[in-house]
Amino acid sequence: MFKFSSKEEVIEKSIAYWNPGKTKFWRDSGIDLVIDKREGYVIHDMDGKRLIDLHINGGTFNFGHRNTELIDTLKIALDHFDIGNHWFPSVARTALAEALVKVCPGFDYAFFTPGGAEAIDVAIKSARYATQRRKIISIIKGYHGHSGLSMATGDARFSKIFLSDRPDEFIQVPFNDLAAMERALSSRDIAAVILETIPATYGFPMPHDGYNQSVKALCEQYGALYIADEVQTGLLRTGEMWGWQSYGVQPDIFVNAKGISGGIYPFAITMLTKRTGAWMEEDGAAHISTSGGAEPGCFVALKVLEILKRPEVRANVQYLTRYFGDAFRDMVQSDGDVIVGLRQKGVVMGVEFAHPEGAVHASRALYENGVWAIFSSLDKRVLQFKPGVLMSYALAEEVVDRFRVALPRMRELIAQAPSVRSAA
């Protein structure tokens, strides 16, 4: 299909024509991955190297790569539909919106976009409309995407480079600090607080007991709305359909992306109530997304929801939660010089290392031993460890075996590590 003589040629041309920074970073890190064949939770390098995928691109491949049910669904949809026309009602969009409202208690509307960053923009716009306030609170080292409004809520690493940090409108407070949250809200001019249910790029630090509920209560006290970013915690990954259900909080708005696409058709959702979606009554074209709610993607998303409702899928998540939790607690006991903790809610996991950049070296050691898992960009002590919800028992056991085999190499790389390293 494509004419490249070698992996090295792809890498050199990626530097020349695609993204020099990303490509050079991974090459210089000893991870010369160019993904070729992929199926289920296994990917293959162009040179044939087999890797078990625990990165799953932030939950995009929650069901694995090229899930056969989703592929078949997409093929059927493409026999009859194209992306459609966003100006008009459609059977596919209406069916998906109704299905989402039924599995999202407390919500009335589903708004569709092609990706999570735009979905966050819709959430912020909706909060501003509903409250007639402008300011947004997010957490320090939070992450909500890379478009205009979503980028302003995230870490300065992603906003300052584009002159998009806007501290007058986008206020940040430390995670798990309710006193700081209340100080920020007490100005009574805040439209919304936006929180990842568990902050992913920050390394999955777990909310303190009652934190999410207390933030929601503070929002209600000071007239702000609560936006839940469920891009990496939705779709059964915490053990419940939506992560906010796991923490007993009812958002005013929430966003999901990545996994709802099935990894095969770009898709994202913003769920709104009558109040937060009232702008659509005034002007339904106030936010236009030409590819939002593309009709083949609606079919795929409907199949994603159908699969997640199966009792055996929930049971599998419960098994994986226990199995990996037990395995890493054992490693903390036996290999505490390297691994010092596990942050876990369902199959949302962060493996914490003793070395300040231990997860960077762990990522390379695992890559060399047939597992791909990525470190957290904003806390390099923590390895993002994200099995998909359909992962088999046998593959889970192989992951743990390979992780244990990689531990000596992790020690070696950590011992050789320089004190400072560039960010990915």
Q: Which two tokens stand for residue 122?
A: 């819709």
Q: How many CA atoms lie within 13 A of 33 on its CB side?
A: 24
pLDDT of residue 419: 59
pLDDT of residue 421: 47
Task: Walk along the chain (424 residues) in steps of 10 and give the mean pLDDT of each run.
Answer: 89 96 93 96 96 97 98 98 96 98 98 97 97 97 86 75 76 98 98 98 97 98 98 98 98 98 98 98 95 98 98 98 98 97 98 97 97 96 98 98 98 84 44
Which of left, alpha, beta for 265 (phi over 0: left; psi -120 to 50: alpha)?
Answer: beta
Q: Which two tokens stand for residue 359?
A: 């997860």
Question: What are the angstrom distances between the C-alpha of 50 and each of 28, 38, 73, 112, 406?
Answer: 21, 9, 27, 35, 15
pLDDT tens profile 92-140: 999 999 999 999 999 999 999 999 999 999 999 999 999 999 999 999 9
Torsion on CA atoms 37, 40, 41, 44, rounded to nearest 10? -10
Residues 337 and 14: their CA atoms lie apart, in Å, by: 38
pLDDT of residue 422: 42
Nearest to 21 by CA among 222, 161, 202: 161
Q: Which two tokens stand for residue 418?
A: 């320089």
pLDDT of residue 420: 47
Residues 199 and 204: their CA atoms lie apart, in Å, by: 5
pLDDT of residue 249: 98
C-beta separation of 37 from 66 below 8 A: no
Q: Strand 268-272 to strand 109-113: parallel, antiparallel, or no bridges (unpaired)?
A: antiparallel
pLDDT of residue 166: 75
